[in-house]
A and B are shown apart, each in its own frame.
Chain A
Amino acid sequence: MTILTVNDIRVFISAVEILRKVSLNVGSGEIVALVGRNGAGKTTTLRSIMGLQKVSEGSITFDGRDITNQPPFKVSRLGIGYAPEDRRIFVDLTAYENIKIAIRDKSREKETMGLILDIFPELNKLLNRKGGYLSGGEQKMVAIARALATEPKLVLLDEPLEGLAPIVAKRFYESIRRIKEYGISVLIAESNISHVPKIADRAYVIERGEIIFEGHPEDILSNKEVSRIVRGY
């Protein structure tokens, strides 16, 4: 069953067309990767879904509802979590406070925290540390944990593996798969093609604001033309 449908969206930033009729969908409990080089339009796609970027044409449907150009807080409350590329941690707040502000249903706090700590047990010892004193990898964990705290049906992860040491990236593969085991769909923007087959069930390739490929992640690597575009060489 499809939970998210992006249908022919066009997005302009300062009169420049950034997304050109982008269409994609994410199934329930599926991990979908949106692969592309820097500047290809991955972040803009995620931001448009989240309501952070105005969509000029086309539509976005989530769980049977039209969410095109809805305010971000409404999109979040409908069940989409978002962890941005630059983490955007509130540095003055502790990791716990960062997560807690996203938990709306107080009666389910224990359960939600349980889910988060099951996916990221490392956070247990970081909860009282201020966001500004966390390492890049730890901030990424908090950013994803915060997205999960909104009790989403779908999470949008923007470059969650960027800048991570290989061993830490492997740890994140595991966490992303654990998110799926909880029945939460994942749409992940990724520029490093080598990560994609290890985490995603399906992938789209975006180039200059257009989807140029859809299929199994392994097929990107075997498709020389697409692989060349994504790698840039």
Chain B
Amino acid sequence: MLSTLPLFILNGLFYAATLFLIASGLTIIFSVAGILNLAHGAIFMLGAYLATLTMLTGDIRLIIITFIIVPFIIGLIGLGIERGLIKWVYDRESEYQLLLTYGLSLVLADLVRMMFGPQPISASFLLRESGVIDILGVTYPVYNLIVIVVALFVGLLLWLFLDRTRLGWIVRACSFDREMSSALGVNVGLIYAFTFFLGSALGGLAGALIVPSTVAMLGMDVNALIESFIVIVIGGLGSIRGAFIGSIIVGLVRSFGIYFFPRYELAFIYIIMAVVLLIRPRGLFGREYRRV
């Protein structure tokens, strides 16, 4: 057991890294625009499938550019969805918003099926090429370590953006009180659009990053969405710090669960979520939202 402990931890952190990117996108959209975007999982899946287009070429330069281009394209798709569809339901009851984003997730999933076919696509060139490394007696793929570092770096950038820049303060102000932000001259509609761009780009980046280690397949959107929901419920809706801690908890529990209690691995994550909700209904770092 002790000899495989580093492996469980690294696997858990790798899983947490992608989960953090998906969940932070979901939570930032929710905290600012107030939309629980059920299409976010499909956005992540679209990112994964788009990334396979270049990853199958085996051209290393093209593959590296993919990690910039795919999030940008997916961000633009998110922006288009917000401007074209979501924008019209901000003032409607949340049921309309949920129905719209759920419908959208089905449409996006069907689009992926039409464009890429029903078979899973494996594009593990980068995983193979980056090799393996020995860590405390455990052989581990270098690529997975890179993903962990990239997620940490993106988390740091997000924190710097939200905490140290005027635009970040505006985004936080809009998440707290849209009406007052607007009365201070902030075009809240543009901030919503920007948030959808940013949140979708994070989902797209997660999709592109995960492809070399696994496969792009239909249905990956549902798992990603459910687990990132668990992450943000544990961490607290609207909190990037919560998404970070929540994803580490879920990632590690899942990693250990697969080994120790494989039949109840998912159930154990739900139990943790239920316990957090019982003790802190807003999640570990959640706060009350003023929706005006």
- Judge whether B159 is part of the interface by a CB distance below 8 angstroms: no
Chain B residue numbers with a CB within 8 Å of A50 are 183
Contact A52 B183 (CB under 8 A): yes
Q: Would you list the 7 A-B pairs with minimal beta carbon distance, nearest first?
A: A76-B185, A72-B182, A88-B180, A102-B184, A72-B183, A97-B169, A82-B183
Cβ proximity bits B163-188 to A, threshold 8 Å, 1 near / 0 not? 00010011011001101111111111
Contact A71 B169 (CB under 8 A): no
For the complex, give the distance between the alpha carbons of A75 and B183 in Å. Answer: 8
For the complex, give the distance between the alpha carbons of A146 and B184 in Å. Answer: 8
Give the Cβ gap from B159 to chain A, nearest Cβ, in Å. Answer: 13
Chain A residue numbers with a CB within 8 Å of B176 are 90-92
Chain B residue numbers with a CB within 8 Å of A71 are 182
Contact B185 A90 (CB under 8 A): no
For the complex, give the distance between the alpha carbons of A104 and B186 in Å. Answer: 9
Give the Cβ gap from B105 to chain A, nearest Cβ, in Å. Answer: 31
For the complex, give the distance between the alpha carbons of A127 and B109 in Å. Answer: 49
**14 A-B interface contacts by CB (under 8 A):** A73-B182, A73-B186, A73-B188, A82-B183, A84-B180, A88-B180, A90-B173, A91-B176, A98-B173, A100-B169, A101-B170, A101-B184, A150-B184, A150-B185
Chain B interface, number of residues (Cβ within 8 angstroms): 18
For the complex, give the distance between the alpha carbons of A104 and B170 in Å. Answer: 11
Chain A residue numbers with a CB within 8 Å of B179 are 52, 72, 88
For the complex, give the distance between the alpha carbons of A138 and B221 in Å. Answer: 48
Contact A92 B184 (CB under 8 A): no
Give the Cβ gap from A17 to chain B, nearest Cβ, in Å. Answer: 22
- Judge whether A212 is part of the interface by a CB distance below 8 angstroms: no
Chain B residue numbers with a CB within 8 Å of A147 are 184
- Judge whether A171 is part of the interface by a CB distance below 8 angstroms: no
For the complex, give the distance between the alpha carbons of A56 and B201 in Å. Answer: 41
- Judge whether A77 is part of the interface by a CB distance below 8 angstroms: yes
Chain A residue numbers with a CB within 8 Å of B180 are 84, 88, 90
Cβ proximity bits A142-174 to B, threshold 8 Å, 1 near / 0 not? 000011011000000000000000000000000
Give the Cβ gap from A224 to chain B, nearest Cβ, in Å. Answer: 38
Chain B residue numbers with a CB within 8 Å of A146 are 184
| Given known A52-B179, A101-B166, contact A77–B172 (CB-CB < 8 A) | no
Chain B residue numbers with a CB within 8 Å of A84 are 180, 183
For the complex, give the distance between the alpha carbons of A152 and B22 in Å. Answer: 41
Most buried by A among B169, B185, B186: B185
Give the Cβ gap from A75 to chain B, nearest Cβ, in Å. Answer: 8
Chain B residue numbers with a CB within 8 Å of A150 are 184-185
Most buried by A among B181, B183, B185: B183
For the complex, give the distance between the alpha carbons of A212 and B216 in Å. Answer: 71
Contact A104 B183 (CB under 8 A): no
Contact A100 B166 (CB under 8 A): yes
Give the Cβ gap from B286 to chain A, nearest Cβ, in Å. Answer: 13
Contact residues of B between 215 and 261, Cβ < 8 Å to A: none
- Judge whether A93 is part of the interface by a CB distance below 8 angstroms: yes
Contact residues of B between 37 and 65, Cβ < 8 Å to A: none
For the complex, give the distance between the alpha carbons of A52 and B186 in Å. Answer: 13
For the complex, give the distance between the alpha carbons of A148 and B16 in Å. Answer: 45
For the complex, give the distance between the alpha carbons of A75 and B186 in Å. Answer: 11
For the complex, give the distance between the alpha carbons of A147 and B173 in Å. Answer: 15
| Given known A100-B166, A100-B169, A101-B169, contact A88–B186 (CB-CB < 8 A) | no
Cβ proximity bits A62-94 to B, threshold 8 Å, 1 near / 0 not? 000000000111011100001010001011110
Query: Which of chain B's residues has its CB closest to A83's CB?
Result: B183
Give the Cβ gap from A74 to chain B, nearest Cβ, in Å. Answer: 9
Give the Cβ gap from A198 to chain B, nearest Cβ, in Å. Answer: 27
Give the Cβ gap from B91 to chain A, nearest Cβ, in Å. Answer: 12
